[in-house]
Amino acid sequence: MAGAEPAPLELAELLLLAVVQALTEFLPVSSSGHLALAGLFFGFAYQGLFVDLMLHAGTLLAVLVHYRRDLLGFARSAIAWRPGARVDAELRLLLLILLATLPGGILGLLLLEIAEDLRHPLFIAANLAGFGILLWLADRRSGLGRLETMSWRQALVVGAAQALALFPGVSRSGICLTAALWLGFSRAEGARLAFLLAVPITAAACLGGLIEAWRSPPDLRPLPMVLGVLVAAGAGLVAIRVLIGVLERFGALPFAAYRVALAFAVVLLHVFGGHG
User: Which pLDDT tens digit goes with each residue over 213-235?
Assistant: 677 666 666 676 777 788 888 88
**CB of 186 within 8 A of CB of 146?**
yes
Residue 41: the pLDDT is: 64
At 11, the amino acid letter reads L
Task: Flag whether 139 is in a domain.
Answer: yes
Task: Flag whether 156 is in a domain.
Answer: yes
* Backbone φ, ψ for residue 91 (5° rounding): -65, -40
Task: Flag whether 5 is in a domain.
Answer: no
Residue 213: the pLDDT is: 67
Alpha carbon distance 221, 129 (integer Å): 36
Task: Flag whether 52 is in a domain.
Answer: yes
**CB of 148 within 8 A of CB of 89?**
yes
With 0-12 / 13-18 / 19 or more C-beta atoms within 10 angstroms meaning exposed / middle / buried, residue 97 is: buried
Task: Flag whether 6 is in a domain.
Answer: no
Mean pLDDT per 10-residue section of the chain, whose length is 276 residues: 50 72 75 65 59 76 91 92 86 93 75 65 88 94 90 92 83 91 93 90 76 68 74 84 89 92 86 63
Residue 79: the pLDDT is: 92
Task: Flag whether 236 is in a domain.
Answer: yes
Residue 87: the pLDDT is: 85
% of the chain beyond a pLDDT of 70? 78
At 185, the amino acid letter reads F
Task: Flag whether 256 is in a domain.
Answer: yes
Half-sphere exposure of 103 (CA within 13 A, CB side): 17
Half-sphere exposure of 106 (CA within 13 A, CB side): 8
Number of domains in the chain: 1
Residue 196: the pLDDT is: 92
**pTM beyond cutoff 0.85:** no
Task: Flag whether 2 is in a domain.
Answer: no
**CB of 112 within 8 A of CB of 48?**
no
- Report pLDDT digits (tens) over 149-170: 999 999 999 988 988 887 888 8
- Report pLDDT digits (tens) over 22-31: 777 777 877 6
Residue 177: the pLDDT is: 93
Domain membership of residue 153 as a residue range: 11-272
DSSP secondary structure letters along the chain:
-TTPPPPPPPHHHHHHHHHHHHHHHTTTT-HHHHHHHHHHHHT-----HHHHHHHHHHHHHHHHHHTHHHHHHHHHHHHH--TTS---HHHHHHHHHHHHHHHHHHHHHHHHHHHHH---HHHHHHHHHHHHHHHHHHHTT--SB-GGG--HHHHHHHHHHHGGGGSTTS-HHHHHHHHHHHTTB-HHHHHHHHHHHHHHHHHHHHHHHHHHHHHS--S--HHHHHHHHHHHHHHHHHHHHHHHHHHHHHTTHHHHHHHHHHHHHHHHHHHHSS--
